[in-house]
Structure 1
Amino acid sequence: MGHVPELPVTSVHLNHTAILAGDRQLSAEFLAAILGLEVGAPFGPFLPLDLGNGVTLDYYELRDEPIQSQHYAFLVPDEQFDDMIARLEALGVTYYADPSHTEPGQINRLFGGRGAYFDDPDGHNMEIMTRPYARP
């Protein structure tokens, strides 16, 4: 196998990803409400949610098929975290300090920040965190 040249880390960025949903409108609006964002106009079979950092979540509707739970983590501004928790509470959505959902109604304080996990309408395990994970 030949030598593969190394690319600078900054040359690759996630642009968009599809999130499977039983009802794309319901799921996109749910996450938009929690994060304080707006759902975009439909784009073909997708309903986009622009995260504002060049990444779009494209909700794609699957009817009559089971949806495999995925994990999506969002780095959010610390000053908006409390508002997001308040919106979860207002919607009656239980949040957890841990990804296994064993610590209901609590947040974590990993890496000097704050974080919480919650399920979206399709059972995707969503995470909001104010500090990125420290990596070795």
Structure 2
Amino acid sequence: MTRRSLDLGVLDVLPIRAAELDSPEAIEQWLRSAGSAERSRQVSSMSKRLARFVALLDHATGPEVLASVDPDVAVRMLKAAGPDQGAQWLQDIDPDHGAEILRRTDNSARELLLARIDPKYGQALTEILRCPPKSVAAHMLP
């Protein structure tokens, strides 16, 4: 019996691999079939193919993948996407996850991304980033 929340990729039965995707439609199908752990595993294993994968993501699939992968993997995705595209995706995800991703980026990349996102959202992220990462305040919206 397969439950919807079961991440089939960890069982090596997932029929679609992120590295084999070649269209936005294929990405949407992959998003429907891969859980967040499997997405993180597959995207983190990409090196040269990451830029090609990121180029296939659009305004809907980009934020969905970004929000569902490990923050370290998300940082690599943002670097591959570039600051303009990365900022668009970043402002479409949960601020807590966005702040965690920004915590793991270097200062210059963080400032570049913050300068390109909506000012209100940027202010919310900045407020979260001011709190120590392990504090309760770091996970509360200002």
Q: TM-score, normalised by structure 1?
A: 0.25
Compare the two structures and name the one with the higher helix fraction.
Answer: 2
> Higher strand fraction: Structure 1 or Structure 2?
1
TM-score of the two chains, using structure 2 as the length reference: 0.25
Q: Which has the larger radius of gyration?
A: 1
Q: Which has the higher contact order (CA 8 A, sep 6+)?
A: 1
